[in-house]
Amino acid sequence: MAERPPAADVVAPLAAARRPFVRALWTWARNQPLGAVSASGVMLLIVMAVFAPQLAPFDPLEPHYDTMLAAPNAEYWFGTDQFGRDVLSRIIWGARTALYVGFTCAILGSTLGLVLGVASAYIGGWFDLVVQRIIDVFLAFPLIILALVAVAVFGTGTDKVIIAIALPFVPECARVVRSGALAIRELPYIDAARALGFSNLRIILRHMAPNCMAAYLIMLTSFLGQAILTEASLSYLGMGVQEPNAAWGLMLQGGAALYAESAVWVAVFPGLAITLAVFAFNLLGDALRDTLDPKLRSR
């Protein structure tokens, strides 16, 4: 049975409702051209990750020993690696690993940071003092060093790498969120909530945390790029995702130095993928900050 077209009186209000969103998006894209380009890049990555099985021309794990280290050609657009695996397919599947690690780390790290930062600001006193000094200690170490220590403790593998990368994000986000939460804590509606007898947990989670969302979202997007880069670095050092999985850093680890001269494509394409992904997320983060920060919005 043929589907009936929706009535005109139903379509019109929907289109009208959609129009302001499209217009707002268009306005945003015009005001933030780099943001728009990076958002497109991020979308492309997400499409690659979601539709990897449909998009990849070959099984990323399947070796073809008769075409080991084949240069880019009509069959293998990005060439093959030392096991004869298709580099393009591994890059497409690698997007899945990158985004899985990136999003999980960023969401985990920034959400825990948000809760900790708001709690620290709201409770104050000795709790705030102790938490902030611990955060000072964590912030003294570069991200990759902390991640390496965590990998050494927890071991290698995708899930352990996520913990290793997410952990150092927690204090970073907590410190940024705390500064905003300190101001929110003094607002009258928090006093009102307290006067109404709401629990501390409810005040933190329902009344303060939502008002720190701008900082949270900015940190989250900036963590995405960092997480992808750190995952690639750990895999490059042999401490991240393990063979034969497809991951960009791992692809560099397997061939960057050894085939730098004889088969440059083994290193160049994963290197480009990492660079473009990190650029896209970082620029998107910048654009979001410009959009969400009221001080920058007026400029």
Partner 1 sequence: MKLARIKAVCAAVLGIAAVHTAIPAAAQTPKRGGTLNYVVPAEPPGYDGHREGTFAMLQPIRPYYSVLIRVDPNNPSTTTDFVCDVCAGKVPEPTDDGKVYTFKLRDDVKFHTGETMTADDVVASFNKIIFPPKGVRSLRRGMFSMVESVTNPDKSTVVFKLKFATNAFIPVLAIPFNWIYQKKILDKDIHWYETNIGGSGPFIFKERQAGAFMRGDRNPNYYHKGQPYLDGIRAIFATKESLRVQAIRGGRADIEFRGFPPASRDDLVKALGKDVTVQESTWNCPIMFSPNHKRKPFDDARVRRALSLAVDRWGGAKYLSKIALVKTVAGITFPGHALSPSDEELKQIAGWWPDLKKSRAEARKLLKESGADLSKTYLFIVRGVDQPYKIIATWLIDQWKQVGINFKMETHPTGPFYAIQRGSKEFDVSTDASCNTIINPLVDVTKYLSDDRASNNYYQYKDREVDALYDKMQRLTDVKAQRKLMFEIAKLTLDTHANQFPVLWWNRIVVHRSYVKGWKVSPSHYLNQALDNVWLDK
Residue type, 15: A
Alpha-carbon distance 4 to 148, whole Å?
A: 59
192 sits near partner 1 (criterion: CB under 8 A)? no
Stretch touching partner 1 by CB under 8 A, among 23-31, 43-51, 152-160, 285-293: 152-160
Nearer to partner 1, 41 or 72 (CB): 72
Query: Rounded CA gap, 287 and 279, in Å?
Result: 12
Nearer to partner 1, 198 or 259 (CB): 259
Does 21 sit near partner 1 (CB under 8 A)?
no
- Residues 212 and 181: beta-carbon distance below 8 Å: yes
Q: Residue 158: which of 248, 85, 231 has the closest Cα? A: 231
Identified binder of partner 1 from the candidate list 65, 186, 188, 294, rule CB under 8 A = 65
Stretch that binds partner 1, among 40-48, 181-189, 194-202, 258-266 (CB under 8 A): 258-266
211 binds partner 1 (CB under 8 A): no
Calculate the alpha carbon distances from 279 to 71, 172, 228, 246, 276 in Å: 27, 20, 11, 21, 5
Residue with smaller CB distance to partner 1, 111 or 156: 156
CA 143 to chain centre: 15
CB atoms within 10 A of CB 273: 25
258 near partner 1, rule: CB under 8 A? yes
Q: Name the residue nearer to partner 1 (CB basis): 162 or 184.
A: 162
Give the span between the Cα atoms of 193 and 195, in whole angstroms: 5
Q: Which of 83, 141, 154, 279 binds partner 1 (CB under 8 A)?
A: 83
Residues in contact with partner 1, counted by CB under 8 A, come to a total of 23
- State yes or no: residue 61 binds partner 1 (CB under 8 A): yes
Interior angle at CA 162, CA 159 and CA 166, nearest 5? 150
For partner 1, the closer CB: 41 or 84? 84
Q: Retrieve residue 257's tokens.
A: 């130095």
Q: Which of 47, 257, 272, 296 binds partner 1 (CB under 8 A)?
A: 257
- Residue among 243 and 293 whose Cβ is closer to partner 1: 243
Q: Is there a contact between 221 and 284 (Cβ–Cβ < 8 Å)? A: yes
Question: For residue 294, what are the contacts with CB-CB under 8 A and spacing of at least 6?
Answer: none
String marking each residue 233-252 x if it binds partner 1 according to CB under 8 A: -----x---xxx--------
Per CB under 8 A, residues contacting partner 1 are: 61-63, 65, 68-69, 82-83, 152, 155-157, 238, 242-244, 254, 257-262
